[in-house]
Amino acid sequence: MKELKTLGVIRIITWSIVAVFMIIIFSRESTIAMWGDNQTKTLLLAVLIAFGLGADLVIRIIIKRKGIENDNNYKAINIGLITTLLYVFIITIIFYTKFEELGVVPVGWLWFIAYSTIVFVNITFGVCDLLFNQRR
């Protein structure tokens, strides 16, 4: 089970790196204001997500090849999905409230929701999986 825990930590670190760089990209003032005019940020975000998904693929291949069983996987997925639903609900309410007077949410923030949901679900799943496997 030590391998499963190590792979879980690698998953969390990988997606945390993706999250940090994603936040850096979105926190730049020009990213939201000029969303459609900046192809570099689109490419960077795609590379970040591909990096995270690629790391997940490698982890899953390792788990399958070594025949490691993870009985807690479904519990972690369920909790990850439920917390992600809450995350999406809360963040959309925040953006609605912030931009209610304007009447529209800038498209850059909608892309933030899309990208951050992928990152959030993977970090949440990784943390839940690691916590459940700590008990083993």
Q: What is the rounded distance in angstroms from the CA atom of residue 63 to the CA atom of residue 5?
A: 11
Q: What is the rounded distance in angstroms from the CA atom of residue 130 to the CA atom of residue 5?
A: 6
Instruction: Give the structural domain span for 114.
Output: 2-134
* Confidence (pLDDT) at 135: 65
Cα angle value 44/117/84 (rounded, 5°): 160
* Confidence (pLDDT) at 1: 66
Q: What is the pTM of this model?
A: 0.86
* Confidence (pLDDT) at 67: 84
Residue 36 has pLDDT above 80, yes or no: no
Domain count, the chain: 1
Cβ(4)–Cβ(59) below 8 Å: no
Q: How confident is the model at residue 83 (pLDDT cuts 50, 70, 90)?
A: very high
Mean pLDDT of 50-72: 89
Residue 102 has pLDDT above 80, yes or no: yes
Residue 98 has pLDDT above 80, yes or no: yes
